[in-house]
Amino acid sequence: MKNLMVSDLVTDYGHVRALDGVSFIANSGEITTVIGANGAGKSTLLRTISGLEKAKSGTISWGDLLITNLAPEEIVRLGVAHVPEGHAVIPTFSVLENIEMGALFRKRKNSTDVKVAISEVLDLFPRLAERVKQSAGSLSGGERQMLAISRALVSRPELLLLDEPSLGLAPLVVEQIIQSINQLCRSTGLTVLLVEQNANTALAVADHGVLLALGKVVSDQPAAKMRADSALRTAYLGY
């Protein structure tokens, strides 16, 4: 049972404080969603967990490991994969190269498992399987997001950090992607930390909700409860 535990996390960009003492726990095998308005600090939270930003103070523990301020390339080796905001793929690479990239660090020791992992993600996203040779730049927005997630999944993560997978996608595609994640989480015990602006979609699949505003946690409760709390939503999300 590996939980992600974030305590009193503070992250600055120069003089701008983006995270101001964030604490919460993401339970093993569950989907925890982080919601909040634009600029609340959601992306910064994920970036600090995955090591892309340095924490000023506070701790991040993953199971019994303290991973605060490790390098991203070390954190991914500990089973934490991050899909950053905005369909992060390499457009000049082929679909297959983008996926292989995510498993490069395991290729030498686990080459057979890498092959299995790649075929698994291609099963999960059949639309990618049809386009393995195509360049990633020629994919649609939804396919690109699937590709970004696949790149993260082939590293065989135990914790998946997903930053706004729905950004700029049609509702149907969003539904499809969220359902794939949900299915994955339930069938393999993957722990998911899902950042969303679209609170309804996220809370519908999540077990737990964390609401961020101006770098602080303003609410932390089971997803179903948060979903029902219309006062909270009007106050912080505006609908």
Partner 1 sequence: MNTFISTLITGTANGAIFALAALGLVIVWRGAGVVNFAQMGQAMFTTYIASNLIASGNSYWLAFIVALISGSLLGMIIDLLIMRPLAHKKSSSATKTLAGTIPVIASLGILAILQALAGIFWAGEERGFPTPVNSFYFKNGDGTLPFSAFNLFVIGVVLIVLLSLTYFFTQTGAGLGMRAAALNPEVARLSGIKVSRMRTLSWAISGAAGSLAGLLITPSTNLSPNTLDLILIIAFTAAVVGGLDSPLGAVIGGLILGIGIALVTTYGSPENVFLAILFVLLAVQLIRPNGILGGKQVRRG
Ligand X SMILES: Nc1ncnc2c1ncn2[C@@H]1O[C@H](COP(=O)(O)OP(=O)(O)OP(=O)(O)O)[C@@H](O)[C@H]1O
Binding site for ligand X (CB under 6 A): 13, 16, 18, 36, 38-44, 85, 197
Counting contacts by CB under 8 A, is residue 167 touching partner 1?
no
Q: For the chain, how far is it from start to end, CA to CA, in angstroms?
A: 36
Quote the CA–CA distance of 133 and 5 in Å, as a whole number: 40
Question: Of 155, 146, 148, 157, which is closest to residue 193 (Cα–Cα)?
Answer: 157
Q: Among all chains, which residue has been given the structure tokens 């292989």?
A: 100
Please name the amino acid found at residue 149.
I
149 within 8 A of 162, measured Cβ to Cβ: yes
| Least Å from the CB of residue 88 to partner 1 | 5
By beta-carbon proximity to partner 1, the closer residue of 97 and 229 is 97
By beta-carbon proximity to ligand X, the closer residue of 23 and 110 is 23
By beta-carbon proximity to partner 1, the closer residue of 133 and 239 is 133
Counting contacts by CB under 8 A, is residue 134 touching partner 1?
no
| Least Å from the CB of residue 178 to partner 1 | 21
Based on DSSP, count helices (H) and strands (E) in the chain, helices before strands.
10, 10
b vs e for 30-53, b when ≥16 Cβ sit within 10 Å of the residue's Cβ?
Answer: bbbbbbbeeebbbbbbbbbbbbeb
Q: Residue 66, by phi and psi: left (phi above 0), alpha (psi -120 to 50) or beta?
A: beta
Stretch that binds partner 1, among 102-110, 115-123, 175-183, 212-220 (CB under 8 A): 102-110
Q: Among all chains, which residue has been given the structure tokens 């082929």?
A: 94
Report the residue from 81, 122, 128, 205 that binds partner 1 according to the rule CB under 8 A: 81
Per-residue x/- marks for partner 1, 8-47, CB under 8 A? ----------------------------------------
Out of ligand X, partner 1, Mg ion, none, what residue 39 binds, judged by CB under 5 to 8 A for its kind, is: ligand X
Q: Are strands 57-62 and 65-66 parallel, antiparallel or unpaired?
A: antiparallel
Written as six digits, the tokens of 153 are 């999944």
By beta-carbon proximity to ligand X, the closer residue of 18 and 89 is 18
By beta-carbon proximity to partner 1, the closer residue of 30 and 163 is 163
Counting contacts by CB under 8 A, is residue 95 touching partner 1?
no
Stretch that binds partner 1, among 29-37, 60-68, 90-98, 118-126 (CB under 8 A): 90-98
